[in-house]
Amino acid sequence: MKKGLSLIIMAFLMIGLLAACGTSNNESKDATSGKNEGKDKKVLIMGTSADYPPFEYIDTTKGEEIIGFDVDLAKALADKLGYDVQVKDMDFSGLISALENGQADFVLAGMSPTEERKKNVDFSDVYFTANHMIVTSKDSGIKTIEDLKGKTVGVQLGTIQEEKANEIAKTVDIKIENRNRIPELIQEIKAGRFDAAIIEDTVAEGFFKNNSDLDGFTIEDATEEEAGSAIAFPKNSELTAEFNKVLNEMISNGELDKLVVKWFGGDVK
């Protein structure tokens, strides 16, 4: 009798154990399945130089996040392609190297697709155009390129504006000084160490709003290579074609125009 009772108890225990194992296995499968379904998107590193409002900058009154036109554009493009974006701030002069060394997957930084840069990286189509501007203090008396004769002109290192200054220096005697960041150029003008600086007009306008003692004039003869901004990628990256396709869709359907209005208050030039 005791033996029979023991066998019955053992049978119930075995059934319970098997049922528990089955439940555990099912829960494990469900957990694994759920994890796969909720798998994170691939994160792309966007290289930029966050000193270029309204393209990319940090509004310290609101936090430490890098915001701007280029950042919104990058996130919109990446989202449509199923990627997430991590924005990485660095000096403009190091952006091409960052692509070549694998430190960034793409660069959005108001960068012009010059022939020299195309030797090292690939570019999307142009997504925005602007012009060069000579920025000075209001009392400088500088109104034309010729007025720069004998003056010190500041430019951001590694930019198309630096190339423009070198071009001007061929016909007008100027001293060229470079700095890593745009705010440094503004500070040097206000301190009287620079007589002028060459900055993209859309960026300069932002500094005019906050510095009533500054003035400037536009250089109208910029070519599309000088005036246009495009997305840069490592040579032969598959992302180039992917991003370019979606970029042109955004241009065609008006989504890019909406971003331009948000950040610049006007239409694409």
Distance in angstroms (rounded) separating the CA atoms of residues 123 and 112: 9
pLDDT > 90: what percent of the chain? 74
Query: In this predicted model, what pLDDT tens digit does every residue of 153-180 receive, in sequence order?
Result: 999 999 999 999 999 999 999 999 999 9
pLDDT band at 5 (very low <50, low <70, confident <90, very high): very low
Return the CATH number of the domain spanning residue range 42-130+228-264. 3.40.190.10
Average pLDDT of span 174-196: 97
Strands (E), 108-185: 121-129, 132-137, 152-156, 175-179
pLDDT band at 24 (very low <50, low <70, confident <90, very high): very low
Strands lying side by side in the sheet with 51-52: 51-52, 56-58, 66-67
Q: Do domains 42-130+228-264 and 132-221 have the same CATH topology?
A: yes
pLDDT of res. 187: 97
Q: Which amino acid is at 260?
A: V
pLDDT of res. 37: 38
Sequence spans of domains, the chain: 42-130+228-264, 132-221
SS3 label, residue 3: helix
Return the CATH number of the domain spanning residue range 132-221. 3.40.190.10
If one counts every other C-beta atom within 10 angstroms of the C-beta of residue 217, the result is 17
Query: In this predicted model, what pLDDT tens digit does every residue of 202-245 receive, in sequence order?
Result: 899 889 988 999 999 998 766 666 678 999 999 999 999 999 99
Q: Output Rg (C-alpha) for the chain, integer angstroms.
A: 28
For the whole model, what pTM was predicted?
A: 0.73
